[in-house]
Amino acid sequence: QGHTKDSSGKEGAKKIRNNGQIPANMYKSGGGEAVQFALNAPDVRHLIYTSKFKLAEITLDGTTYKCIVKDIQFHPVNDQVLHIDFLQLVPGTKFKATVPLRFAGQAPGVKAGGKFIPRLRQVNILTTPEKVVDEVTADISSMELGSTIRVRDITTIEGVEVTNTGAVPIASIEIPRALKGGGK
């Protein structure tokens, strides 16, 4: 629940913060005029302090908008939220987002004594609001000792394009020294 703000600039933002609120902007994907508004700090806590990808529903003047958090500015000393930028999702219009990468399955290489090393925790995606996902899953059930899986090995999801470079490693199974024969 947001409230459109009357004043803009530094002084307006300071006034909003003094009232225990957070100044925010909502941009439309594809451009256009930004809408400035204020949010109650407790209402956005679940969007800020999480590693998960979350869609936000913001209600301004009786209209509800689906958005994603694009940018958050924190105070350098006390970590207080100074400002939030939202991207309004327009049906049928593609947008970029960063979502968590989850690993699924049991790797035979780990069962054989190897160590699973995740190299990437999040991936960038290009999708529409109708097809958006909160995470991308990589199957590790075929990983043997010394093997690596890359972005290109992620199973594709209809309507969601992973935009990271395909050759980037996302996880590997390291061979312990004892198994390499180097243990003395």
* Residues 159-176: tens digit of each pLDDT: 999 999 999 999 999 988
My answer on whether 9 and 83 are in the same domain is yes
As a whole-number percent, the residues of the chain with pLDDT over 90 amount to 43
In whole angstroms, give the CA distance from residue 116 to residue 136: 18
Considering just the CA atoms, what is the radius of gyration of the chain in Å?
21
Structure tokens at 49: 């302090």
Closest residue by Cα to residue 63 from 8, 96, 26, 31: 26
My answer on whether 39 and 103 are in the same domain is no
My answer on whether 16 and 47 are in the same domain is yes
Asked if residues 90 and 127 have their Cβ atoms less than 8 Å apart, the reply is no
User: What pLDDT score was predicted for residue 49?
Assistant: 80
The domain boundary residue, chosen from 69, 90, 111: 90
My answer on whether 56 and 78 are in the same domain is yes
User: What pLDDT score was predicted for residue 1?
Assistant: 52
Q: Taking all residues of the chain, what is their mean pLDDT, rounded to a whole number?
A: 87
The domain boundary residue, chosen from 56, 75, 90: 90
* Residues 27-62: tens digit of each pLDDT: 887 677 888 899 888 888 888 887 777 788 888 888
Structure tokens at 44: 């956005």
What DSSP state is assigned to residue 176?
P
The upper half-sphere exposure of residue 120, i.e. CA atoms within 13 Å in the direction of its Cβ, equals: 24
Sign of the alpha-carbon torsion through 41, 46, 52, 58: negative
User: What pLDDT score was predicted for residue 106?
Assistant: 94
Q: Read out DSSP for 135-165?
A: -EEEE-TT--TT-EEEGGGSPPBTTEEE-S-
Domain that holds residue 33: 2-90
User: What pLDDT score was predicted for residue 20?
Assistant: 84
